């Protein structure tokens, strides 16, 4: 039986001093933690190489000025992380952006030959977000182009779910965190793995607590959509792969062998 498709997570930056309650709605307020920014590579049986999200900018760049402290060791440089798993950016044909927040869309331009897949509603929102979210989209900064716009000519807009982007890899609209958040459902030999994006930043969001079956993040645009997305994910996914959880990176590949 074929081993493919295989999903490989890569840590391409770390939030070194992040308010935990931003991840977990109204929980653990005042606590700070370290959280990785994950980029994923999907390799299919047919040899397709697909990247999901492209990570944040590194330290010393605009992250300090406009965002939050980001730690990035040399092995977390996206090109280096890709090299480690045998992929060069030039051979990547497809990049899926789960949404257009800065920590998921910097480094887009290293993928010169890729078509980028983004929800149409996310693109529309990112052009002129609510001003409180300008920073997250790197919009409205004088003289600055948001990183996703640097690959504008390579973007293919998606509306809603897309079945079989390539065989067994599906785009799933999961709004709530942002208007056009989407996940990537991958049919592996050990069940459907859902690369969730920031809709589920930590496994703790998915696992919930005594009060809630699933916990949304504090950064959201619509909690009703968010709840419907949780129900949709329950129906689709056997395994959840959150976007900012070190537990995901403990395994070099999914499905987990053994
Ligand atoms: Zn986000």
Q: Is residue 57 within 8 Å of 110, Cβ to Cβ?
A: no
The alpha carbon of 256 and the centre of ligand 1 are apart by a number of angstroms equal to 26
Cα–ligand 1 centroid distance for 49 (angstroms): 24
Residue 20 Cα to ligand 1 midpoint, Å, equals 14
At residue 96's C-alpha, the angle toward residues 90 and 258, to 5°, is 90
Cα(23) to ligand 1 centroid in Å equals 10
**Span from the CA of 3 to the centroid of ligand 1 (angstroms):** 31
Ligand 1 centroid to 100 CA: how many Å?
7
Give the per-residue pLDDT at 65. 77
Pairing of strands 115-119, 94-96: parallel
pLDDT tens over the chain, length 258 residues: 568 899 999 999 999 888 989 999 999 999 999 999 999 999 999 999 999 999 998 877 676 778 888 999 999 999 999 999 999 999 999 999 999 999 999 999 999 999 999 999 999 999 999 999 999 999 988 889 999 999 999 999 999 999 999 999 999 999 999 999 999 999 999 999 999 999 999 999 999 999 999 999 999 999 999 999 999 999 999 999 999 999 999 999 999 986
> How many whole angstroms from 176 Cα to the centroid of ligand 1?
10
Are 244 and 206 within 8 A, CB to CB? no
Structural domains of the chain, ranges and CATH numbers in brackets: 6-249 (3.60.15.10)
Q: How far is ligand 1, taken at its centre, from the CA of residue 136, in Å?
A: 7
Residue 118 Cα to ligand 1 midpoint, Å, equals: 14
CA of 107 to the centre of ligand 1 (A): 16
What's the gap in Å between 78 CA and the centre of ligand 1? Answer: 18
Q: What's the first-to-final CA gap in the chain, in angstroms?
A: 15
pLDDT on residue 61: 66
Distance from the alpha carbon of residue 199 to the mean position of ligand 1, in angstroms: 8
Measured at the alpha carbon of residue 174, what is the angle toward residues 76 and 214, in degrees to the nearest 5? Answer: 85
Angle made by CA atoms 190, 191, 193, in degrees to the nearest 5: 110
Distance 54 CA to ligand 1 centre (A): 12
Rounded CA-CA distance 38/22 in Å is 17
pTM here is 0.96
The candidate with the shortest Cα–Cα distance to 171, out of 195, 154, 144, is 195
Look at residue 155 in the predicted model and tell me its pLDDT. 98
137 CA → ligand 1 middle, Å: 9
State the distance from the centre of ligand 1 to the C-alpha of 86, rounded, in angstroms: 28
> How crowded is the C-beta side of 49, counted as CA atoms within 13 Å?
13
Task: Give pLDDT, residue 68.
Answer: 82
């Amino acid at each position: 039986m074929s081993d493919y498709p295989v999903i490989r997570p890569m840590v391409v930056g770390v939030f070194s001093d992040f308010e935990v309650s931003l991840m977990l709605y109204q929980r653990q307020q005042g606590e700070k933690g370290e959280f990785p920014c994950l980029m994923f590579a999907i390799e299919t049986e047919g040899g397709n190489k697909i990247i999901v999200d492209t990570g944040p900018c590194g330290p010393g760049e605009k992250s300090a000025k406009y965002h939050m402290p980001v730690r990035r060791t040399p092995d977390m440089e996206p090109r280096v992380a890709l090299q480690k798993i045998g992929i060069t950016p030039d051979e990547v044909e497809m990049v899926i952006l789960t949404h257009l927040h800065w920590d998921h869309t910097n480094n887009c331009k290293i993928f010169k030959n890729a078509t980028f897949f983004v929800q149409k509603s996310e693109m529309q929102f990112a052009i002129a977000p609510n001003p409180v979210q300008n920073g997250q989209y790197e919009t409205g900064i004088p003289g600055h182009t948001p990183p996703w716009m640097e690959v504008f000519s390579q973007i293919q807009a998606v509306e809603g779910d897309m079945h079989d982007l390539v065989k067994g890899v599906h785009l799933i609209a999961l709004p709530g965190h942002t208007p056009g958040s989407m996940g990537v459902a991958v049919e592996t030999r050990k069940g459907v793995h859902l690369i969730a994006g920031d809709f589920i930043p930590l496994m703790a969001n998915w696992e919930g607590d005594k009060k809630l079956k699933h916990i949304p993040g504090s950064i959201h645009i619509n909690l009703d959509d968010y709840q419907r997305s949780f129900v949709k994910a329950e129906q689709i996914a056997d395994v959840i792969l959150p976007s900012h959880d070190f537990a995901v990176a403990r395994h070099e590949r999914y499905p987990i062998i053994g």
